[in-house]
Amino acid sequence: MKTYDVIVIGAGINGLVTASILGKKGKRVLILESRDKIGGIASSMEFTPGFTCNVVHDTIKWIDPRLMKILDLDTNGLQLVEPEILRVNLGDNSEHITFYRDIDKTINSIAKYSKKDSKRWEDFISYIKKLSQFLEKLYELPPPVLPNLGIKEVLGMRSLLSPIRKHGSQGVVDLLRVAPMMMPELADEWFENELLRSCISTAGIHHLSFGPYAAGTGYNLLHQHVHSNGLFHNIKFVKGGIEQFATVLKEVAERFNVEIQTSAKVISINTDQNVCNGVTLESGKKITAKQIVSALDPNNTFFNLVGPSNLTPDFRTQINNIRYRGSTARVHFALNKLPVVKGVNNEHLKTVFSISPSIEYLERASDAAKYGQIPDNPYIEFVIPSLLESNFAPKDKHVLSATIQYAPYHLRDTEWSDSIKDQLKNNIVDTLEKVIPNIRSIIKHTYILSPLDLENEFGITEGNLNHGEMTLDQFMFMRPTISSSQYRTPINNLFICGPGTHPGGGLHGTNGYNAAMEILK
Amino acid sequence: MPYKNNFTAQTQLKLSPFFERTSKLNESQEWRRWAGYLAATSYELTHENEYFAIRTKAGLLDITPLKKYIVEGPESEKLLNQLVTRNIAICKVGQVMYTPWCDEDGKVIDDGTIQRLSKDKFRITSAEPNLEWIQSNAIGMDVNVKDDSFSTAALALQGPNSRAILNSISTNNLDKLRFFWMMETTFGNIPVSISRTGYTGDLGYEIWINPNDALKVWDLLMDKGKSFGITPTGLHALDIARIEAGLILLDVDYISSRHALIESRKSSPYELGLGWAVKMNKNDFIGKSSLQKELNHASNWSFVGVEIEWLEFEKHYREVGLAPGLPQTAWRTSTPLYYKNEQIGYATSGTWSPLLKRYIALAHLKSTYAQKGSKLMFELKVEHFRKLTKATVVKTPFYNPERKRSCPK
């Protein structure tokens, strides 16, 4: 029988990252993935014959540069496409602001609506850049062990000083002001035009269950702009589709002798006297290893796999208190022809569109979620991936993939069903119709994933794509809990590396990188 | 069957199913709150007769206000073994164990008894509500935890005549029922569970019944017990008896770690004299690793019995022209204890023992001063002025009659 140093549970981005780094350092690693393919939420699928979609994520906001380096992802075949247009925010009556890689073009686009705002744009993005640089440093470190912070930990955090040296202590003050802010307050300090204000706000509500008027949306906005180099709404596409990111990581991992088993569902992490010694698969097979790393969310890792009776009461309470509340749905349309976006040149469609005429529009969409309902006018971000990947759809046909907020996991007095999904679909199409007038007539097939579907498909608790809401009370040393925020857990030899750990969600791989470094300590 | 109260009284407090009887017997109409119930302080104008009933005849106490929980299911033993410090795996069916239970830091949350009703069914009693704690620790286990507080009524019959009274009523003889064991029997056609347990340190029993049978059981006991001197007994008498027996009381002798505002208010079982109830050789239980550390380093605090020396005590009063000012009832005021001029602890409850004719107290002492025979100074207020008077650390229980544990030959 083969023996392993480490078993990694889950072959999503972070699981693959951790496994690859450990493999590179000479560990004998086995990855166990319950689905029949790797990638987790970074995967694609043929949702109807001839039409393929990126199931959850169409774009990447940022990738940890340390990861690119240590795994040499550039030369190992990861091709990132940096589009000229980063985002088009659509308002009413064909009004829209376009965010370009070229800042001057963005300024011109804003100037059409407000000269004053256009003049402030450069200052604003350097302000956001400055603040997110603090997070960049913070994200590279495991959070401090609290409440007993020792001199060793403090010394280990000295790299945090570099942005302070660069920007002065005012930078820290600004960070502490902006992170707990709500979007309208931040917007008030900078801009007057509502279309611009609401487009900025969309960055603060990404995959949250609440709207722009919630405190702490400032932090979420900054999180989206880590390593964005002063580009607001920065995005990257992965050549070949999002799954290619996972595929490249898999190839790297295999080069380091990491063994990957798919369709290998772990049903328990086995512990004895608080020491973890292996896993049991659904098939009944037991596999032992010196260390176990879970890339699953805390609820799955600790409640479903370790089991609540193996947790201490305090830790169990902490795990139980983590908020998930997935509120994002995904919908994929197979289209008979290229959609026409009102007011937008057909050459400018290889980007992300958002439908956000005002901050109030976003807030009202979130109101529905607050009361366990689906919104009449949801907030929609969409991409036409078939324009980037020609093999995603037959010739002259297209795929439109949309991310929908807010579709709450917990519905009031009812549960997700086909009829609720139909209702949501109708609301989506009604909303899209305002910006793509012919949408209804060109839809060939619709595939919708509610938060419940996301939970069932990917095993993510309550369909939360970030493995726990990205809020300040679930940030840094509180992610996932105060006693497990260093990628270690109260159970000896059990580690965690998923987005439920510091610094949270997104396909950036920082969690997996930091976890690997902790395991190697 | 949950008990449905048919009586009314001008109170927001709960009324026990025995209230129909106790309310009429309570001549003093002295009541106090006990776990949200109205409980008799003393039935007569003073508690002395009731105290002597416990020690010389039989005192009958309504202990329904105790919190009671039923834990049932294949993993109930596993759950309880994780929850409490004693080894429940060796608790046989029909046996009862007294045990504290701790938080993760090894600080006591509450203490009570665990009755093993069958292989997979237990009843836990406690001073304070513990349902949420037990249930939250049962998450993911194949057990059912339910509140039995309103579905079981309970009486304590305590004193040297208690066995004879029960034998005159019970279908099954109690002579062979050992200390901290229980049995099922009937009073006529009424099913009752009787445990040989109590809070007096004397021969005594606790009777667990369906609340709907409460009045019938009370009447039977009072009727058959009459010739044995059965006496309805209130909490004042009980308090003296439990101090004589060296038994601790939550919120008096220690503070539950759940309510302690600061760390220093919490106590480990070792610091409460309950080290004997901590079984370090069993599997993981809540607080084990912290308790192991404490065991390796020795506890800072000890819980001891203290006797206030009579002659000097009397002298303090004589100096101001008074007869010795003995406490009328057991007291519960934290009272400083000194070694020379340094305060090294505090007594949490004390009483004049009418039987032993000794002034006794239960106290927390810094461990270095806690060995038996240590001479301390006890703070006394004599005619508004503070005095220090001699006291000695002594062994508990202060009173421990052989009949508490023995069975008839």
Q: Over pLDDT 90: what percentage of chain B? A: 95
Residue B283 pLDDT class (50, 70, 90 cuts): confident
Per the listing, tokens 């009397």 go with B314
Residue A364 belongs to some domain of the structure: no
Q: Which residue of A has its CA nearest to B136?
A: A313
Q: Are residues B78 and B58 in the same domain?
A: no
Q: Specify the pLDDT at position B5.
A: 64
Best of B139, B145, B280, B283 to mutate (most A CBs within 10 Å, chain A) = B139
Residue A265 belongs to some domain of the structure: yes
Q: Which residue of A has its CA nearest to B79?
A: A309
Query: Which residues of A fall within a CB distance of 8 Å from B136?
Result: 313, 316-317
CB spacing of B104 vs A303 below 8 angstroms: no
CA A131-A135-A141 angle, to 5 degrees, is 155
Give the domain range for residue A12.
4-78+240-322+479-520
* Per-residue model confidence as pLDDT tens digits over B34-85: 999 999 999 999 999 999 999 999 999 999 999 999 999 999 999 999 999 9
**How far does CA A363 lie from the centroid of its chain?**
21
Give the domain range for residue B365.
263-267+300-394
Across B151-173, average pLDDT? 98
CA A383-A401-A231 angle, to 5 degrees, is 30
Best of B104, B132, B133 to mutate (most A CBs within 10 Å, chain A) = B104
Say yes or no to pLDDT of B1 above 60: no
Residue B41 belongs to some domain of the structure: yes
Mean model confidence pLDDT for chain A: 94
Report yes or no: B127 at the A interface, CB cutoff 8 Å.
no
Q: Specify the pLDDT at position A1.
A: 63
Q: Are residues B45 and B190 in the same domain?
A: yes
Choose the weakest-confidence range: A131-140, B8-17, B374-383.
Answer: B8-17
Report yes or no: B142 at the A interface, CB cutoff 8 Å.
no
Number of domains in chain B: 3
Global pTM reads: 0.85
Beta-strand pair B230-232/B58-62: parallel
**Could you give the C-alpha distances from A289 to A25, A271, A293, A514, in angstroms and in order?**
17, 12, 10, 21
Query: Which residues of A fall within a CB distance of 8 Å from B284?
Result: 273-274
Q: Are residues B138 and B210 in the same domain?
A: no
* Per-residue model confidence as pLDDT tens digits over A330-357: 999 999 999 999 999 999 999 999 999 9
Residue B409 pLDDT class (50, 70, 90 cuts): confident
Per the listing, tokens 């549960």 go with A415
Q: Report the CATH number at residue B90.
A: 3.30.70.1400
Across A179-207, average pLDDT? 96
Query: Which residues of A fall within a CB distance of 8 Å from B79?
Result: 309
Q: Which of B121, B147, B173 is the last residue of a domain?
A: B147
Nearest chain A Cα distance for residue B84, angstroms: 13
Q: Which of B98, B124, B147 is the last residue of a domain?
A: B147
Reported ipTM: 0.73
Q: Specify the pLDDT at position B8.
A: 64
Say yes or no to pLDDT of A413 above 70: yes
Of A274, A308, A312, nearest to B139 by CB-CB distance is: A308
Query: Which residues of B fall within a CB distance of 8 Å from A268?
Result: none
Q: Are residues B221 and B160 in the same domain?
A: yes
Report yes or no: B283 at the A interface, CB cutoff 8 Å.
yes
CB spacing of A313 vs B139 below 8 angstroms: no
Q: Report the CATH number at residue B364.
A: 2.40.30.110
Residue A395 belongs to some domain of the structure: no
Say yes or no to pLDDT of B267 above 70: yes
Query: Which residues of B fall within a CB distance of 8 Å from A308?
Result: 139-141
Residues of A with a Cβ under 8 Å from any B Cβ are 273-274, 303, 307-309, 312-314, 316-317, 320
- What residue type is B344 in one-letter code? I
Nearest chain B Cα distance for residue A468, angstroms: 21
Mean model confidence pLDDT for chain B: 96
Q: Are residues B304 and B384 in the same domain?
A: yes
Residue A23 belongs to some domain of the structure: yes
Across B144-153, average pLDDT? 97
Of B78, B139, B284, nearest to A316 by CB-CB distance is: B139
Per DSSP, the three-state class of B13 is coil
Across A93-98, average pLDDT? 94
Across B338-343, average pLDDT? 94
Q: At A404, which helix (H) or strand (E)?
A: strand A398-405
Q: Report the CATH number at residue A256.
A: 3.50.50.60
- DSSP output for A151-184: HHHHHHTGGGHHHHHHH-HHHHHHHHHHTT--HH
Q: Are residues B184 and B36 in the same domain?
A: yes
Q: Which residue of B has its CA nearest to A305?
A: B140
Residue B6 pLDDT class (50, 70, 90 cuts): low
Q: Are residues B116 and B157 in the same domain?
A: no
Across A145-169, average pLDDT? 74
Q: Are residues B311 and B388 in the same domain?
A: yes
Across A273-297, average pLDDT? 96
**Cα separation, B6 vs A15, whole angstroms:** 64
Number of domains in chain A: 1
CB spacing of B283 vs A313 below 8 angstroms: no
- DSSP output for A197-214: HHHHHHTTSTT-SS-TTS
Q: Which residue of A has its CA nearest to B287?
A: A312
Residue A360 belongs to some domain of the structure: no
Across B23-29, average pLDDT? 95
CB spacing of A308 vs B140 below 8 angstroms: yes
Contact status, residue B166 vs residue B157, Cβ threshold 8 Å: yes
Report yes or no: B284 at the A interface, CB cutoff 8 Å.
yes
Of A274, A308, A316, nearest to B284 by CB-CB distance is: A274
